[in-house]
């Protein structure tokens, strides 16, 4: 979940989907991305996002932006956000305490890594108004945190529970 669904969230969904698929769980884990805003609905990911992904062997070309819907809380066990602003928005939209608890910051899964972090290290910066180098930095953060998140859910997947 990100602001416009063209930079961070398509990056993270592509990376996380690759982790899940490589481990053989692609048919059991739904990976999706959406935006808090509707500015880019229907658009492809930002060209710098696609380029950064391609540079590392990922294919982000099929992504189309969409806005988060209330029904997404019912469809997903976890709603990952990139910054505290998105966290506040999604928790405010959540109809129940259970749904609010589903909203988690991506970097909260990767507390041991210092890759690209600044400040208190809770937010993944939005690279939209920056250069290609920032997209690479954000992708570093996304890769590390996605690996950490996958390590946390993999035991449940091995035991046969569905996510």
* 3-state percent helix, strand, coil for the chain, nearest multiple of 5: 45, 5, 50
Active site residue 64: no
Which residue has tokens 């997903």?
76
pTM for the whole thing?
Answer: 0.91
CA distance 11 to 135: 9
- Evaluate if residue 34 carries a pLDDT over 90: yes
The pLDDT value recorded for residue 102 is 98
Domains in the chain: boundaries: 8-158
Contact 32, 65 (CB under 8 A): no
The pLDDT value recorded for residue 161 is 54
Mean pLDDT for all residues in the chain:
92
The pLDDT value recorded for residue 3 is 87
In the chain, which ranges are continuous DSSP H helix? 8-22, 47-55, 72-75, 84-93, 97-102, 132-158
- Evaluate if residue 117 carries a pLDDT over 90: no
Question: For 119-132, what is each residue's pLDDT tens digit?
Answer: 567 899 999 999 99
* Marked catalytic residue, from 19, 72, 126, 131: 126
The pLDDT value recorded for residue 116 is 57
Active site residue 38: no
Active site residue 46: no
Which fold, 8-158? Rossmann fold (3.40.50)
């Amino acid at each position: 979940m990100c602001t416009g669904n063209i930079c961070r969230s398509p990056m993270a969904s592509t990376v996380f989907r690759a982790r899940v698929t490589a481990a053989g769980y692609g048919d059991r884990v739904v990976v999706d991305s959406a935006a808090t805003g509707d500015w880019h609905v229907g658009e492809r990911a930002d060209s710098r996002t696609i380029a950064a992904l391609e540079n590392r062997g990922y294919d982000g070309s099929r992504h189309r932006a969409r806005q988060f819907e209330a029904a997404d809380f019912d469809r997903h066990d976890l709603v990952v956000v990139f910054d505290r602003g998105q966290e506040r928005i999604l928790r405010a939209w959540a109809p129940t305490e259970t749904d609010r608890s589903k909203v988690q910051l991506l970097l909260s899964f990767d507390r041991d890594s210092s890759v690209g972090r600044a400040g208190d290290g809770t937010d993944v910066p939005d690279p939209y108004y920056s250069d290609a180098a920032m997209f690479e930095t954000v992708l570093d953060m996304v890769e590390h945190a996605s690996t950490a998140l996958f390590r946390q859910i993999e035991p449940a997947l091995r035991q046969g529970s569905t996510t």
